Amino acid sequence: MSKGSRLLAVAAAVLTSLALIAAADANPGRMVGGTGPQSDSGTAYFAITHSKGGLEYAAGNNTDKLLGTGAATYALKLLPNKNGSFSVTSKNVVFYTGKGSLSGTAKATVDVTSTAETITGGKLTLTKGFGSLKGDELTAKFTGTANLKTNQFVFKYKGTLFG
């Protein structure tokens, strides 16, 4: 092997190592290179931002074990203005991270009283990845609570990140 070839081989090895280190640092806690399903969990905090066209829009922040901190949004059909148990579906849930985003749907049962909501039986299915999360999916089960006076929601989820 010539001196020039050895230098190129060393340079290639150094660049590959730096790329792996950068990829690991860019996504703390997450395995590099699409290594398959990984257990995941997180907490999302939301507040209602506005209502329009029969939909309620919410935005907030998210802390995820594998994806780190980010933002999240969702939209769903307005619930009836009464107490009771309702099935809800959001066809537009998006988790944003510094590396990309995941979007999809969520379903749950909401039990409403005059001052609070309890969310049970939640199923989160985020199947469209963008950016460095392209090809990734997150499926999770979630529960939550809401304070109707402040319009603040807290969701806790556990599931699997496929990537």
**Confidence check: pLDDT of 31 > 70:** no
**How high is the pLDDT of residue 80?**
85
Res. 34: pLDDT tops 70? no
- In order of their start, the domains of the chain are 39-162 (2.40.128)
What whole-number percentage of the chain has pLDDT above 90?
69
Give mean pLDDT, residues 113-131: 95
Helix/strand/coil (H, E, C) string of the chain?
CCHHHHHHHHHHHHHHHHHHHHHHHHCCCCCCCCCCCEEEEEEEEEEEEEEECCEEEEEEEEEECCCEEEEEEEEEECCCCCCEEEEEEEEEEEEEECCEEEEEEEEEEEEECCCEEEEEEEEEEEEEEEECCCCCEEEEEEEEEEECCCCEEEEEEEEEEEC
**pLDDT per residue as tens digits for the range 1-27:** 443 333 333 333 333 233 322 333 344
Task: Give per-residue pLDDT as tens, 84-100.
Answer: 999 999 999 999 999 89
Between residues 150 and 155, the one the model is more confident about:
155
